A = this chain, B = another copy of it.
Amino acid sequence: MNETALHARKRIEIVVEAKRADDVTELLDRLGATGWTVLPVAQGRGRQGIRQSGDLSGVLDNVLILCIGSAGLAERVLAAREELLGARPAIVSVSECQVLRGERFG
């Protein structure tokens, strides 16, 4: 691996109801995220049973929000735990990754 080109960052992955996604992305923005990506979810099972996308009301739709940032950003996200959990995410997970152009992931 060309280590000089790669920069260690945190990969934050949040699964949340689609209707609450804006709460999460606004929180990420406020905490200094330089970007995020929202992926649609087709189906999920969690504590509330199975959720299926495309139901008429749309209230059961989930999305997956991916945000890559510095260790400091991940710390701030986790420190905002109460506010984050107020959006009732099903999953908040953090893993290690390495990125090209680290300056883009504050």
Contact = CB atoms under 8 A, between A and B. Distances in A.
A79 B2 CA distance: 7
A2 B75 contact: yes
Interface string A2-13: 100110010101
Instruction: Classify chain A: how many residues form its interface, as a range.
Output: 35 or more
A99 B91 contact: yes
A45 interface: yes
B96 A96 contact: yes
In the complex, the count of this chain's copies comes to 3
Contacts of A39: 39-42, 64
A71 B46 CA distance: 19
A104 B45 CA distance: 12
20 contacts: A5-B78, A6-B94, A11-B93, A13-B97, A34-B46, A34-B47, A35-B47, A35-B91, A36-B45, A37-B41, A37-B44, A39-B39, A39-B40, A40-B40, A42-B63, A64-B66, A85-B101, A94-B97, A94-B98, A95-B95
